[in-house]
Structure 1
């Protein structure tokens, strides 16, 4: 498959990139939505994290912004392809299963480091205006995953370029990056606690941590794991958003009281 990728023309690379990123966004997003809005609640598994309603027109806005991100990610496939064409990177065509597994593990760790660095930069006063469109989704949905400003999409979408110039990866290892990244992103933005029995620091509690990031805006800049937030002391407390939920309940109580009167 790697040799096929190398032999494609620039236009073919960009076309297949658009189909790939658009397809996985819609499939993963729709599957996570159905899972958290239909199947798991019906089975009594897990719970909703943020009880507040979505903003008017939120889903439409997320889909529109995500469409731009899909365009950037898809057309952006020209860059890893270009590195190979220029001889600045190479694919390993005969990698063993063990090598591929180790490469994916390294890329999973690098993805978390890369995400934390760029995410933290996007919360600085110089770049935060490019991150605010993503934070319009205070209560997140699986379709929030690609809902970025174009600058943010460019920053987060270059994750495989540096690894490619320092190591000859298998095509399958590189292909895994957008797949596990989007999968974990959909989980993180699902506004659903899938495994309520585990602790706040557990890998399976990533949705709890990222929902707090959207509810509180600052803190919990990591992706799936906690090691970067622990290292730089940016991890939020498990109850960091509680006051927001209390205020919401009080406001709803007043509105219901006024309606009854």
Structure 2
């Protein structure tokens, strides 16, 4: 069985499962990628890259007391919400509102992954801006307690924020019959790239402000300034809507959560 056919079989099995099995599968999936990616990035940015003298830490200040424990506890709740939320794409498939591609070629899968990556950035920007409005700001403040970010900050959300960000796959499924491989790639690449933004590590100090590897610098500025740099991996949405912060933004007048 080829890789493409493996994912087709896996997707069909997911669609044919019970709702409880779908939620259990989702919980195991999100917990696994969180542990592997966040734990791996912690080792990479705290041990391996500094030892090799590649890149540099952005903010050397120590973490606040109990920060890692706080981030892990909120992340566990987010993983629970993402896992339970897996029942929604499952329901779309069972109700016939969405279909899975049954014979996708490598080119189609690659194009679908690229489209979902761009859509993820658009969805993230829209919801992130929404979370910075006055009615929702108090919910998003839980994430901004991490003024010095870590890889474990990535899923450190209030449950409402986790629900908003976790629905990213639903609209694309209603508009196009995606391959199951492309659908699975979205949370993996999203977590990988979100980890880049929260790593508090400058992987390429010589790269320009708009380079994708500068996402960690841009998002670090967001956590220190609170307003601006709402984008994810790319910077085009911040450029279009005038929310792009300069590379060396002045320090904020107030703490981030109070702004």
**Does 2:156 correspond to 1:142?**
no
**Does 2:169 correspond to 1:156?**
no
- The TM-score normalised by the length of structure 1 is 0.92
Equivalent of 1:168 in 174, 177, 181: 177
- The 2-side partners of 1:119 and 1:12 are apart by 31
Which 4+ stretches in 1 moved above 6 angstroms?
none
Structure 1 residue 240: Cα displacement? 1.2
Contact 2:14 2:22 survives alignment (8 Å): yes
Structure 1 residue 215: Cα displacement? 1.0
Contact 2:74 2:158 survives alignment (8 Å): yes
**Does 2:241 correspond to 1:232?**
yes
- The 2-side partners of 1:135 and 1:26 are apart by 21
Contact 2:67 2:146 survives alignment (8 Å): yes
Deviations 1:221-251 (A, max 9, x none): 000000000000101111115x47xxxxxxx
Aligned to 2:134, the other structure's residue is in SS state: coil
2:3 counterpart residue number:
none
Structure 1 residue 21: Cα displacement? 0.4
Structure 1 residue 26: Cα displacement? 1.0
- The 2-side partners of 1:198 and 1:179 are apart by 25
Pairing 1:19-168 to 2, within 5 Å after superposition: 19-168=28-177
Pairing 1:246-261 to 2, within 5 Å after superposition: none
Contact 1:2 1:93 survives alignment (8 Å): no
2:27 counterpart residue number:
18
Structure 1 residue 195: Cα displacement? 1.1
Structure 1 residue 161: Cα displacement? 0.0
Structure 1 residue 197: Cα displacement? 1.7
Equivalent of 1:213 in 202, 208, 222: 222
1:252 counterpart residue number:
none
1:178 counterpart residue number:
187
1:254 counterpart residue number:
none
Contact 1:6 1:84 survives alignment (8 Å): yes
Show structure 2 runs of 5+ residues with no match: 1-9, 253-259
Bigger radius of gyration among the two:
1
- The 2-side partners of 1:53 and 1:14 are apart by 37
- The 2-side partners of 1:104 and 1:210 are apart by 23
Show structure 1 runs of 5+ residues with no match: 245-261
Contact 2:16 2:94 survives alignment (8 Å): no
Aligned to 1:140, the other structure's residue is in SS state: coil
Deviations 1:74-125 (A, max 9, x none): 1110000000101111111111111111111110110000000000000000
- The 1-side partners of 2:146 and 2:137 are apart by 15
Aligned length, in residue pairs: 243
